[in-house]
Structure 1
């Protein structure tokens, strides 16, 4: 039945799992600290929740998983970016840039387990990523 309705176990997983990133309320975040707050939150989520690692694996190899991740992006990440982006027309691109950084680190640290990414202390990773996320969300459009 799994094969008939979901194609494989990964498809079943993607259909069954509900992902709530429990993102902070955008109104509770200051514009000056949103990058650090968001990166810190994501590291906490990744380190406490193996479901996110599983969904990342499935999303990279399975259409249902990719669609599930796209839904999380649409419903949870875009609204946060909308709160801080200086130009509403740039919200989707900026949210995609934020996602690329966070998912890239998650892929190298929790899925592929690149030794330098795994060995990096969380505080150090936050210090590297937070300014980039901050810039993606709040900086003027690059000329």
Structure 2
């Protein structure tokens, strides 16, 4: 069966995301990713050049942040993140690898700065505080993701989305819209 180049590239990226999520950047190999995709390792190299470039492509992630209502931005953002974590392995790949690989950590920082930061500026009108607010939002949401999706801490892993939104949403709301402390 012949695939188009677009289909082959998508197959490789899907296998890479799964492999990077399971093994981390250091232990994942081009050979293992190719085996997972059911193709020759040379094809992976043809499309991506090397492991670093493959990882960069696999770690590309659009948070697809919606317009958030200012008075309910925290709960809406928590719900949105939970949905994104459950529909796409991209964030899981970044979280798993970001703790041991500087390129992955930088990619995660860039995603939150480049995508969450502007959303915060839009909500608050304050570009000066946006980076600090984005960092606090990232710490909270990534902590929830680590506990729920990577480490599977009970009861965080078993809580419903509604429960998590109820617990975490108010904290995120504070980070997003509360007056600066002090």
Instruction: Find the counterpart in structure 2 of residue 16 from structure 1.
Output: 57
Instruction: Find the counterpart in structure 1 of residue 147 from structure 2.
Output: 108
CA RMSD in angstroms comes to 1.9
Question: Partners of 1:54 and 1:8 in 2: how far apart?
Answer: 13
| SS of residue paired to 2:179 | coil
Give the direction of change, closer, same or farther, for the CA distance of 1:107–1:37 in structure 2 (3 Å limit): same
Is 2:86 the partner of 1:32?
no
Is 2:167 the partner of 1:128?
yes
Give the direction of change, closer, same or farther, for the CA distance of 1:59–1:140 in structure 2 (3 Å limit): same
Tell me by how many angstroms 1:86 deviates.
5.7
**Unpaired segments ≥5 residues, structure 1:** 1-5
Question: Partners of 1:112 and 1:79 in 2: how far apart?
Answer: 30
Give the direction of change, closer, same or farther, for the CA distance of 1:7–1:126 in structure 2 (3 Å limit): closer
Which whole-Å deviations, capped at 9, do the CAs of 1:38-62 have from their partners, x for residues lacking one? Answer: 1110000011112211211011111
Which whole-Å deviations, capped at 9, do the CAs of 1:65-85 have from their partners, x for residues lacking one? Answer: 111111111211111111123
Tell me by how many angstroms 1:16 deviates.
2.1
Instruction: Find the counterpart in structure 2 of residue 3 from structure 1.
Output: none
Alignment check: 8 A CA contact 1:36 1:126 kept: yes
Larger-Rg structure:
2
Instruction: Find the counterpart in structure 2 of residue 66 from structure 1.
Output: 105
TM-score for both structures, normalised by structure 1: 0.85
Alignment check: 8 A CA contact 2:113 2:134 kept: no
Higher-RCO chain (CA-CA 8 Å, sequence separation at least 6):
1
Runs of 4+ in 1 over 6 A off after TM superposition: none
| SS of residue paired to 1:39 | helix
